Amino acid sequence: MEEILFRIPPGDPGCLFRAILVCKLWCSILTSPFFPGRYREFHKTPPLLGFFQKDNTMGSWFSPLSPNFPFQTIHPGWWRTLQVDDARHGFVLLSSSIFIGRGSLVVWDLVGRLLWELSRPKFSISSTMVAETITVLCAHGAHGCDHLDCRGGFLVVYVAFTATGGANASVYSSEDRAWSPMASCGDESDLHVVAGRRTRNALVGHTLYLLCSERKILRYDLFSLELSILEWPEEYEWSEGSSHTLVTMEDGVLGFASLRKSTHELWSMEADDGPEGTVRWALHRVVELVDLPPSVYDEVTSFSYGVVGVIFVQTNIGIFTIELNSGQVKMVSSSSAEVIPFTSFYTPGTY
């Protein structure tokens, strides 16, 4: 019977909770302390449960993709002064521009219903800072965590960009309860990021990659705590009206994705035999997205990956999801606010 219950789709966790009511046997299996771990191992990849949207005037909100989501999301306190900045490994990161001390950042375990408050690093209040990007990560990814059930330990990566083209970065560890020493890329780095425009950062191994304007990628090694710079793919033909993001490929390497009109391109980074530190990019896949009306592509403002093979397309008329393998298109929101996908397992008897 347990093998049958394993096949309940994880993307619709409400089905698991309804199954508890079928009979005592199902209830005992589903609420067993051993079921969640076996269920996660069976499905391997955390499902896309929904997405956050953030708007400068409306604040942030969560939209489940399943109509049978098992609980109504309760926003943390101070919700109107907080904005969702990132969601990864089951954690949600919120920030406030009002509080510069304790509580200016909040890490939220949505499923476990836990909150942690922390302050930004001291260098964040510099008058030369023009933009910031903040990322939340599982603290144990570099030590073999499979990210099927990340709970407790987390890292917050804070990167500030200066008006003169430099960048400063630091990592907060929930275990140490402290920020790491600041790492810097000087003004000569020519890093320019448009304030308010954010793309999804990509984690590959113990390195975080951030996409900047001026066709540069900032690389932050979470072991050595050093910053370095990569160039965009030289082979990629830049054009106005295109959107870009970084992704982690299925084989664990860095990917660069673009969307131009109805054409989606995915590039993968490969090691080069040239001088130390050089890389090359290979065109991995080209997909023609033909199931949206042509007029929609004229309204595209950005896009992001929810899980491998599913992208969110943000347009001026709403948010669409596109499954790249099947071509299935679905409008999931009439709002054009920024999207932050949320993936996690949610099973009965865990919390």
Per-residue confidence (pLDDT) for residue 114, from 0 to 100: 84
* Domains of the chain listed by start with CATH number: 1-44 (no CATH), 45-343 (2.120.10)
- Tokens 């949207």 belong to residue: 53
Per-residue confidence (pLDDT) for residue 237, from 0 to 100: 73
Considering the entire predicted model, what is its pTM? 0.86
Per-residue confidence (pLDDT) for residue 4, from 0 to 100: 85
Query: How many residues can be counted in the chain?
Result: 351
Per-residue confidence (pLDDT) for residue 258, from 0 to 100: 84
Helix (H) or strand (E) holding 15: helix 14-19
170/158 Cα distance (integer angstroms)? 5
Task: Using alpha carbons only, give the angle 345, 75, 81 rounded to the nearest 5 degrees.
Answer: 130
Q: Is the distance from CB of 255 to CB of 248 less than 8 angstroms?
A: yes
How many CB atoms lie under 10 A from the CB of residue 313?
Answer: 25
Q: Is the distance from CB of 339 to CB of 86 less than 8 angstroms?
A: no
In the chain (351 residues long), the average pLDDT of successive 10-residue segments reads 86 86 88 86 87 79 79 55 86 76 77 86 79 86 61 87 87 94 79 63 90 83 91 73 81 84 83 62 82 64 68 84 81 86 81 54
295/262 Cα distance (integer angstroms)? 10
Helix (H) or strand (E) holding 19: helix 14-19
Long-range pairs of 275-283 with CB within 8 A, sequence gap ≥ 24: 277/228, 279/230, 281/233, 281/234, 281/235, 281/236, 281/256, 283/235
Q: Is the distance from CB of 62 to CB of 50 less than 8 angstroms?
A: yes
4/258 Cα distance (integer angstroms)? 40
Collect all residues with Cβ–Cβ distance below 8 Å to 273 and sequence separation of at least 6: none
Sign of torsion over alpha carbons 127, 98, 344, 324: negative
Collect all residues with Cβ–Cβ distance below 8 Å to 163 and sequence separation of at least 6: 128, 129, 130
Q: Is the distance from CB of 60 to CB of 96 less than 8 angstroms?
A: no
Per-residue confidence (pLDDT) for residue 141, from 0 to 100: 63
Per-residue confidence (pLDDT) for residue 77, from 0 to 100: 45
Task: Using alpha carbons only, give the angle 334, 238, 271 rounded to the nearest 5 degrees.
Answer: 105
* SS3 per residue for 241-306: CCEEEEEECCCCCEEEEEEECCEEEEEEEEECCCCCCCEEEEEEEEEECCCCCHHHHCCEEEEEEE
